[in-house]
Amino acid sequence: MRQYTERTLSAPENVSGFTLLELLVVMVIIGLLAGYVGPKYFAQVGKSEIKVARAQLVALDKALDQYRLDTGHYPTTDQGLAALNAAPANEPKWDGPYLKKAVPPDPWGNPYLYKIPGEHGSEFDLYSYGKDGQPGGEGEAADIYN
């Protein structure tokens, strides 16, 4: 049988590890990187939501133009964007649906707004109030029009 001495049971003398100070320095560096990169990442998310809203407005605008080509006029404000998926009453020339799916909400979960006649230089206004869901605003909260 082998005899175990105190020397063979103790940890080897040349084993190295990280000190508490080294671990703290690494954690501070990771925290600084997260503090710098995090806000830049979330700013990009806000910009992408605005781009999605603009792309959806373009698609809805094209569907409204197709509706007008078939019927001779745009839907009324009361008929709204629902006229793109379901035939309005007393509309014999309707040849839809003009969208494959239901009208999507804007990227912030609010419905797109539609008004005819338009007040911003077009026959109709199609818009989203942005992130805050309220008229006006700046940045991500700014209104987005067709």
pLDDT tens per residue across all 146 residues of the chain: 566 555 555 556 666 777 888 889 999 999 888 888 877 777 677 788 888 889 999 999 999 999 999 989 899 888 889 989 888 888 888 887 988 888 999 888 899 999 988 787 788 889 888 888 778 777 777 888 88
Q: Which residue is listed with tokens 């799916």? A: 101
pTM: 0.68
Report strand pairing: 125-128 vs 113-115: antiparallel
What is the CATH T-level fold of the domain 31-145, as seen in this structure?
Glycoprotein, Type 4 Pilin (3.30.700)
The rounded distance, in Å, linking the Cα atoms of 89 and 79 is 9
| Domains of the chain, residue spans | 31-145
